[in-house]
Structure 1
């Protein structure tokens, strides 16, 4: 019997909480604007009353959802996300109350690895690492930019990915 695989211990950056909050706030603000425009149009054009009722229910659900998604979820997500990279495996462990995921990706299955940044990630000096296998693409979100570049190189070397393979 071989040795047990130890639990992942590396955490994503605490800056991720603020970045996710801003991202979610932008998304919910846009959704709120769309709902308010629809409510205005419903009043202005005198649409059926049941349409207004549905829009108000959606507005209430949107407000409740936005509070949970902006205030609670980013903290929980950052505290529960773990990853580990060693010579044989890449481990990703994350999840919530309903569903927990613990992926173990053998280095021999890694086809490519890259980092990327959107405007918000760049503002917080963070990157997302994408690890491609034959079956899918896995992500490690919100890793400090310098550490992400080092990790990308480490995974590429351990997986035997060279410039000529790309």
Structure 2
């Protein structure tokens, strides 16, 4: 069996993923507050029971604790990639490990993307497009992302010339 890819994502990916998830959970909590407010202001309404709201609240607390404190670190530990002149090797997953090999000659174009959260940590995603789908290497340092993008592009041009 082939060895795992050697290159890792930036350690700052953990922080960026935590911030992204915190923003998402903030909106979930806001919605939950509206439900609690509706329940408290109109208790005779049978819209949702108090026990259901308590169950939703406790579930949200557990998901928040796992999602912010544990999952980003495990996700970072499991993510790795390798780029060579023949293929791009991607490995990711927390419970189910996914291993993807993208042949360089199938690459149509490669981009770097950077949202506001990634930008604040000087990170960028590399997206690799083939005719069938798009693959992503998340949260690389900006300079590394540019190098990986340029390297994949160079290998793809060389593979095109060989055909």
RMSD: 1.5
Q: What are the superposed Cα offsets for residues 89-121 of structure 1, whole Å, 9 maximum, x if unpaired?
A: 000001112x11000000011111000100010
Q: Equivalent of 1:42, from 27, 31, 39?
A: 39
TM-score by length of 1: 0.89
Q: Equivalent of 1:26, from 23, 28, 52?
A: 23
Q: Equivalent of 1:127, from 124, 131, 140?
A: 124
CA distance in 2, matches of 1:57, 1:84: 43
Q: Equivalent of 1:8, from 5, 10, 20?
A: 5
Contiguous gaps of at least 5 residues in structure 2:
159-163
Contiguous gaps of at least 5 residues in structure 1:
162-166
Q: Equivalent of 1:108, from 83, 105, 108?
A: 105
Q: What are the superposed Cα offsets for residues 115-147 of structure 1, whole Å, 9 maximum, x if unpaired?
A: 010001000000000001111111000000011
TM-score by length of 2: 0.91
* Shift of residue 50, structure 1, vs aligned partner: 4.5
Aligned length: 157
| 1:158 corresponds to 2:127 | no
* Shift of residue 160, structure 1, vs aligned partner: 1.4
Q: Equivalent of 2:53, from 52, 55, 80?
A: 55
CA distance in 2, matches of 1:67, 1:24: 11
